[in-house]
Amino acid sequence: MRWPIVSRRRYETDLAAAKAETDRQRELRVKAEKGEATARFNRQQVLEQNASLDEKYADVCIVNEHLTDDLTKARERIAQYGVRRTVPDVLEEHDVHRKALADALGPQKRHLNWDQLIAEAARLNAAATEWMTECQAHATRADRLQRRLDDSLGLNTSQVEDGRYWQQTRHDTKGVAL
């Protein structure tokens, strides 16, 4: 049986033990909260990755369906014609396949015809060259007009050239910040 009176030393040791237990419990709680936040973040990342993969999977399925249809049609044509296929037939099948693939890709338009791509690049290059030529012509004309204006207003004389630093030599503004 304990005495009803608690000594100061015993009180302080019990208090220190209780504080140590409280601190330990607090650390466990902080670790658990951090772990829960990390798990929540990881779950969100996985959900976003799964959604992205689902979209890609749907796109691949669409393209796969079109390619399967093209393959089925090509097999039917091969069975129909046997070995009597000509080069234009093969080129036509390739063009049909390329168009079906482009339709399957939709607005992404990742599958471009190289001839079309080269023609588009050449057209854009020609347009850029023409624009740069026009820009240079306008700049030359503007410079010529500026020189004529300066001549007519007398702004290219030696007096104007000598006075171009007049603000820096003013005496009434010494010590005043402009």
Q: CA angle at residue 106 from 71 to 123, to 5 degrees?
A: 105
Q: Is 158 helix (H, G, I), strand (E, B) or coil?
A: helix
Q: What are phi and psi of 164, to 5 degrees?
A: -70, -20
CA nearest 110: which of 98, 118, 122? 98
pLDDT score for 173: 63
**Tally of CB atoms within 10 A around 93:** 16
Q: What distance separates the 2 farthest-apart alpha carbons in the chain?
A: 118
Structure tokens at 90: 């093969």
Q: How does pLDDT run across 111-156, given as a tens digit for each residue?
A: 456 667 667 777 888 888 888 889 889 989 998 998 888 888 888 8
What is the identity of the amino acid at 34? K
Tell me the whole-structure pTM to 2 decimals.
Answer: 0.33
Q: What distance in Å separates the CA atoms of residue 59 and residue 53, rounded to the nearest whole number?
A: 10
Query: Which stretches of the chain drop beneath a pLDDT of 70?
Result: 1-3, 81-87, 89-90, 97, 100-115, 117-118, 173-178
Q: How far is the C-alpha of 60 from the C-alpha of 67, rounded, in Å? A: 10
